[in-house]
Structure 1
Amino acid sequence: MPDAAPTVAAILTAHAEGVMAGLSFRSLLDAVAVARNEGLDVEVLVVLDNPTDATRDAFAEAAQHGATVAEVSYADQGKVRNHAVGLVSADLVAFLDGDDLWSENWLVDAHRMCAGSADGDRVIGHPELNWFFENQQNLYFLPDQTDPAFDPALLRIANPWDALCLAPRAAYVEHPFAARAVADGYAYEDWHWMLETYLAGYVHRVVPETIHFKRRREGSQYVQARARSVLTRPSELLDFAWWQERDRHL
């Protein structure tokens, strides 16, 4: 009889974060330890995309901590995440960028919400709070789709969530991240993924008392995209006609 698949895959992606990537990896391991103490079977994967030597060195001892390390050459965060999903077998997947941090309770509490929800395998969990640091210092409280005050029309003008969530692996398989194409006027792959999963019936929930610490640095992909005034890729949810049709059926 084959072994059962792990419960959760904790995936860290990195590129040129250097020493900071080591701190992010430690944060991931702390959250994994808490989850395992609660009985969860967690697989750990690190995917390095065209890494600098300093970033590669940060994971020189990753295998000693039970992590698998893979190296790719995409220069594209969305493609890296798609590749990573193909390397794991867990039913739930959580991503962490190589310069961000999780609160220690993230994996265990996000799993508890997603696995215990009435929506079953259609729930995507997000932290309650994003705490930005370095070149941007502010707090952002994420909305819960099931909150009566949440207006889905917000999705037409902004992305209230991001890819550092815990989601069913099937959501990534069914809706892979679009390729980054800033030169063609397209970016914000996270936003497009949120639009597509929302349309597909996935429910975006907030996990109470969890925090993601997110580094906002000069030259990040997000900062570059904003500077180029690019758009997210087309989606039905961005089409006003879709909302007119929806309203007619309410």
Structure 2
Amino acid sequence: MNLCRIARRRNRILLLTLLPLAVGCNSIEKDHQSDFLKPFASTESTGTKAANQPMPSERALCIETAKTVAAKGHAEEAIKLFERAEEQDPTATALDADLAPLYAEVGDHDSAIERYKLCVQRTPDDAELINNYAWTLMEAGRFEQAIVEATCGVQKFPEDTRLRSTLAMVHYRNGDHAKSFQQWELAVGKTAAHHNLALLDIDAGNVDSAREHLRQAKQDPELDSRANVLMAAFETSSQKH
């Protein structure tokens, strides 16, 4: 089980061509820019069909370009484009759902939290939004608030393993390992809960606690080989230190 979906950071590739944001998204030379602008390149010559199609607004161009740029891993550039799109029409629906994860990716937790909060207010029954909101609160160190949001999410979606796992992670980060184990056990079972706590303890340098969780996990006759390998590697590492 992948425990650490903790705001993965992808290596940034320097853009060879800077987006001319100052002069507007619709001024981009679509046929001569780098590959992430190709969705706007014409697929046919200037014919009757193309002539009859309405020209997309600058806001629409900014949004579509931002989505393509974000898909290429360029979060900061995508943020600028989404923000510019909002400026084009302040009366239109805000792009909170697009901007929230991008802000989180670049480490702007305050902006991400504000956007996620607005998203959850508009769509209170979206488990994924609640989960991401709680996780971002945790990343920002707002543990009590994260616990409140994750707990509300679990109450709405008691079978959602990811939400319950997030609640377990928040409790662990907040120093309440007993509640963390309780939520892990409900989410993935007792043996896997011990295994997960062992991994978290190893990462946090809690050697004795990690060893005890691994000992408990090994008592399960159906324990998979990965836990045995982890135990062996951990014991070897402990002996070296």
User: Relative to total residues, which structure has the larger helix share, 1 or 2?
Assistant: 2
Bigger CA radius of gyration: 2
Q: Would you call these one fold, judging by a TM-score over 0.5?
A: no
TM-score range, shorter chain: under 0.3
Normalising by structure 2, we get a TM-score of: 0.25
User: Relative to total residues, which structure has the larger strand share, 1 or 2?
Assistant: 1
Normalising by structure 1, we get a TM-score of: 0.24
